[in-house]
Amino acid sequence: MDGFRIPVGEWADTAVDWVRDNLEWLLDIITFIAGWLVESLTEVLVVTPIPVAIVIFALIGWLVRSWQLAVFTALTFLLIVAMDQWVTAMQTLALVLIATIIAVAISVPLGIWSARNATVRAILKPVLDFMQTMPAFVYLIPAITFFSIGVVPGVVATVIFSLPPGVRLTELGIRGVDSETVEAGQAFGAKPGQILRGIQLPLATPTIMAGINQVIMLALSMSVIAGIAGADGLGKEVVQAISTVNVALGVEAGLGVVILAVYLDRVTAALGNPGDYRSSLLGVLSRRRASRLSEETSAVEKTPTPA
């Protein structure tokens, strides 16, 4: 067996060269779209006055979860401002949000397809296993080869790295819907598309949102690694801190990532289970509306009927 070697790496290198030489038009389209989306969202977030942006983020927290999250958001985002990391935090947030939107747009349909087709599920399972176990740094190599240095390889690597939990949890949510409920819909003559939209997706929403939550967390972790590829943001600050052994910069940039992660985690968790958060603004408004309707109904019932 001496001297026997399977050149898997050389095959992969050949495949990368083939893609770069024959699909240059597709790579150019991806570069333009991904770059434009991240740059546009970054510009919106950075141009927005900081007090206005903090109020908006806090209101979103209160709207979907609680006033406590709103206060926490305001205080922690003010800390980001005080550490002079606001611009880099918004650059990271833009990259994470765009990567998450793209990943969700791919993973949710794939998860639904996998849940409804055993052949697709059998094909996707080893692919997802491979994607989840491959070291995150490895994704940067072909991404930089295809898209050079900058934000685009960071977005592409982040999307690939964060896809698997979205697919898996979407499939789990759809397959976890009670079969008797689905059979009841079929008994009433509902078509497969109607059952999917009216029964399976609504009942699977908490699980799907848990998958989206995991996509966001993985995207945030990968956005730091994407700083190696030249993507602007907190990840680039962390890479700079490592290269210069700058403890202060590393702690501040890392703390900024933690704050964004906690905020996005709480918001997405609340979106997946809106009924669990009674102190949210939506919960308060819905209870007031229900109380008002109850009072009006009682008043109508008490009104004497003319003889």
User: For residue 101, what are the CA distances in angstroms to 1, 70, 247, 257?
Assistant: 49, 24, 33, 19
**pLDDT confidence band for 54 (50 / 70 / 90):** very high
pLDDT attached to residue 303 = 56
Give which of 265, 288, 284 is closest to 218, Cα–Cα: 265
Interval 106-152: pLDDT, tens: 999 999 898 888 898 899 888 888 888 888 778 788 888 888 888 88
Highest mean pLDDT among 48-62, 130-144, 189-203: 48-62
Q: What's the chain's average pLDDT? A: 82
What's the half-sphere exposure (Cβ side, CA atoms, 13 Å) at 216?
Answer: 22
**pLDDT confidence band for 81 (50 / 70 / 90):** very high
As a whole number of angstroms, the distance between CA 211 and CA 197 comes to 18
- Decide which of 278 and 115 is more confident: 115
The residue-averaged pLDDT of 267-295 equals 62
What tokens does 68 get? 């406590």
pLDDT attached to residue 77 = 94
Q: Answer whether CATH 2.160.10.10 is correct for domain 11-47+83-274.
A: no
% of the chain beyond a pLDDT of 70 = 87
pLDDT attached to residue 193 = 79
pLDDT attached to residue 209 = 86
CB-CB contact of 151 with 231 (8 Å): yes
Residue 7's φ and ψ, nearest 5 degrees, are: -80, 60
**pLDDT confidence band for 302 (50 / 70 / 90):** low
Whether this model's pTM surpasses 0.85: no
Q: In this structure, what DSSP letter does residue 84 have?
A: T
As a whole number of angstroms, the distance between CA 243 and CA 262 comes to 27
The residue-averaged pLDDT of 203-218 equals 87
Give which of 218, 219, 255, 260 is closest to 238, Cα–Cα: 255
- Locate the domains of the chain by residue range: 11-47+83-274
**Polymer length in residues for the chain:** 307
Radius of gyration of the chain measured on its C-alpha atoms: 24
52 has pLDDT over 90:
yes
Interval 251-260: pLDDT, tens: 988 899 899 9
* Single-letter code of the amino acid located at 303: T
DSSP of 20-34: HHH-HHHHHHHHHHH
% of the chain beyond a pLDDT of 90 = 16
- Decide which of 219 and 297 is more confident: 219
As a whole number of angstroms, the distance between CA 142 and CA 161 comes to 13
As a whole number of angstroms, the distance between CA 57 and CA 74 comes to 8
**pLDDT confidence band for 221 (50 / 70 / 90):** confident
Give which of 52, 48, 65 is closest to 264, Cα–Cα: 65
pLDDT attached to residue 295 = 56
